[in-house]
Chains A and B, each alone.
Chain A
Amino acid sequence: MSTVAAAWNRKHLLDIESLTAEESHLVHATARAFKAVGERPIKKVPALRGKTVINLFIEPSTRTRISFELAAMRLTADVINFTAEASSLKKGETLRDTARNLEALNADIIIIRHSATGAPHFLSRFLRGSVVNAGDGAHEHPTQALLDTFTIREKKGHIEGLKVTILGDILYSRVARSNIWALLKLGASVTLCGPSTLVPRVFEQLGCRVTYDVDEAIVEADVINLLRIQHERQRQTMFPSIGEYTHLFGLTKARFARTKPDVLIMHPGPINRGVEINSEVADCESSAILEQVTNGLAVRMAVLFLVNGGKGPQEISG
């Protein structure tokens, strides 16, 4: 593993698009140390002691919210969970006012999930504290991409030169966009595959390869990242039926048998067994799906730790 030279000077983590490869390396290196903390009898460190972290989840989420919540707790921060269903947003308050009110409680870090693209960027323009994007519309989900690349690096030893296929709903997926940015910056080649209605050719402009032939897309892949069909984000039917999707694009046992022997199967969850992935394939040796969850916690601890850092030089003697 190369040594990390870059310093982290970001107050917010809003997207992967603006993140450098060096900054991703730094998050990974930091996450490795935090993963080790999770393996100790005492899984908590005082790095964010006395800090207040607010989970501002305007769009429903369970796993990402719990992951961020536990990450903050393991750093000894105080955490408040704020969900749209039980909030004044229902009473007509604007996002700006909601965020300002939370800031009036002296929140240090606000983690936001929102259905609108750019909501975290918007908050970052007027809030004093740090803003971490936990998913904004179909735009980006930076911590997911950081944990996915962390997992690939851990399993494969490197990212540069790997062939990664992202299979499924690309159009509506913020996970896909963040992963594309991260993988390309870290030197992987990216193939996108799925129904043509959900994988527009316009993605080629980012530097990806687009194909609609799933068998060709998976046979050479070192990593296959499966994305869920997002029923909740599709405004009209983009393909005839779930059964047809499974038939044409699902990672069935027959397709899995034709992949490389050391292929890594990934999925950001929640998985739909029998739809985009065969149940046995999801649980097989090649699958890193649960490891991704473990790594997600470590990566989110690293991100909270890094954005909390103040300005100035890194090293001081003691």
Chain B
Amino acid sequence: MPEKTTILNPQAIHRVLTRIAHEIAERNDDSQSVVVVGVQRGGIHLAERLGALLKSVWSHPVPVGRIDVGMHRDDLDHHAAPHIQPTVMPFDITGNTVVLVDDVLFSGRTTRAALDALNDFGRPRCIQLAVLVDRGHRELPIKPDFVGKNVPTAMHERIDVHLKEQGGEDVVYLEKTT
């Protein structure tokens, strides 16, 4: 049986997202040019929540999109073809600041694929990366701008993120497989 440790409870997740929203607001003076894009599948609900939190900070709506990176992965030869989820970008990213949102940052390969995928939609003025959990073990030179929690992990451990939008409650576990 895998041993599960809670690393973020519902209150902690809410606090962490609120802090990240304020950090994004602090970093970006020109609030009108910020759009939030969630990476399928783990990042899309977090992106929606950050969009809502930013709206209350800035008192204006913040556009939120979602992007699937399955067609841009570098490991398509090594696995069964991934299920492609919808990409929804109802705004122009050219000239804007894109805050890319994902749940867990690990090797960095998903982020790299997301950067490539974003390229097909235009040329943002800049891209910032927000993640709920950074578990280390990067294989690419990618660094997040906003981190909910840094969790040093071993390679064989898993980070399990549950969000209430998928049913149940907000919680993040660290799973040690024995």
- Please tell me if the beta carbons of B83 and A29 are within 8 angstroms of each other in the complex: yes
Residues of B within 8 A of A42 (CB): 120-121
Most chain A CB within 10 A, of B80, B107, B120, is at B80
Contact at A40–B121, with CB atoms within 8 Å? yes
Please encode chain B, from 113 to 149, with 1 for each CB lying within 8 Å of some chain A CB and 0 for all others: 1001100110000000000000000000000000000
With contacts A8-B81, A305-B81 known, is A310 near B72, CB below 8 A? no
A273-318 at interface with B (beta carbon < 8 Å): 305-306, 308-318
Complex Cα–Cα for A44 and B10 (A): 41
CA distance A33 to B120 in the complex (A): 14
- In the bound assembly, the distance between CA atoms of A33 and B70 in angstroms comes to 10
Closest chain-B Cβ to A40's Cβ sits at a distance in Å of 6
A105 at the interface (CB under 8 A from B): no
User: Contact at B79–A314, with CB atoms within 8 Å?
Assistant: yes
B107 and A318 within 8 A (CB): yes
For chain A, the bracket of interface size reads 20 to 34
Which chain B residue lies CB-closest to A42? B120
> Are A47 and B75 closer than 8 Å at their CB atoms?
no
B40 nearest in chain A by CB position: A33
| B104 and A46 form a contact (CB under 8 A) | no
Is B78 an interface residue, CB under 8 A from the partner? yes
Docked-complex contact A47 and B72, CB < 8 angstroms: yes
Closest to B122 in A: A41
Point out the residues of chain B lying under 8 angstroms from A308, CB to CB: 76-77, 81
**Which of B76, B77, B81, B111: most chain A Cβ within 10 A?**
B81
Known: A33-B85, A33-B87, A318-B107. A7 touches B80 (CB 8 A): yes
Partner of A317 from B71, B84, B106 at Cβ < 8 Å: B106
- Does B109 have its Cβ within 8 Å of any Cβ on chain A? yes
B29 to chain A, nearest CB (A): 29
CA distance A75 to B76 in the complex (A): 12
* B95 on the A face (CB < 8 A): no
B72 shortest CB reach to chain A, Å: 6
Residues of B within 8 A of A209 (CB): none
Chain B residues with Cβ below 8 Å from A26 are 83
With an 8 A cutoff between CB atoms, is A37 at the interface? Answer: yes
Contacts of A228 in B (CB 8 A): none
With an 8 A cutoff between CB atoms, is A9 at the interface? yes
**For the complex, is A104 an interface residue (Cβ under 8 Å from B)?**
no
Let me know if A238 is at the binding interface, CB within 8 A: no
Q: Given contacts A46-B71, A305-B71, are A33 and B80 in contact (CB under 8 A)? A: no
* A1-47 with Cβ < 8 A to chain B: 4, 7-9, 26, 29-30, 32-34, 36-37, 40-42, 44-47
Partner of B79, one of A34, A41, A47, A309: A309
- The answer, among A37, A41, A314, A318, for a CB contact under 8 Å with B71, is A37
Q: Contacts of B48 on A, CB cut-off 8 Å?
A: none
**Which of B68, B72, B79, B83 gathers most chain A CB within 10 Å?**
B83
When chains A and B are docked, how far (Å) is the Cα of A311 from the Cα of B81?
Answer: 9
Residue pair A313, B80 in contact (C-beta under 8 Å):
yes
| A318 and B87 within 8 A (CB) | no
Asked if B110 CB lies within 8 Å of chain A CBs, one says yes
In the complex the two chains form, what is the Cα distance from A313 to B79 in whole Å?
6
Question: CB of B61 within 8 A of chain A?
Answer: no
For residue B168, which residues in chain A have a CB less than 8 angstroms away from its CB? none
In the assembled complex, the Cα of A308 lies from the Cα of B79 at a distance in Å of 10
Q: Across the interface, which residues of B come within 8 angstroms of A310, CB to CB?
A: 76-80
Q: Chain B's nearest CB lies how many Å from the CB of A125?
A: 22
Asked if B84 contacts A33 (CB within 8 A), the reply is: yes
Q: Most chain-A CB neighbours within 10 Å: which of B71, B75, B158?
A: B71
CB-CB under 8 A from B167, the residues of chain A are: none
Residue B152 is within 8 A (CB to CB) of chain A in the complex: no
Q: How far is the CA of A316 from the CA of B108 in the complex (A)?
A: 12
Chain B contact residues, CB within 8 Å of chain A: 68, 70-72, 75-87, 104, 106-111, 113, 116-117, 120-121, 158-159
Binding site for B on A (CB under 8 A): 4, 7-9, 26, 29-30, 32-34, 36-37, 40-42, 44-47, 75, 305-306, 308-318
Q: Please give me the 7 A-B residue pairs with the lowest Cβ-Cβ distance, nearest first.
A: A309-B81, A318-B110, A33-B84, A45-B71, A42-B120, A318-B109, A47-B71
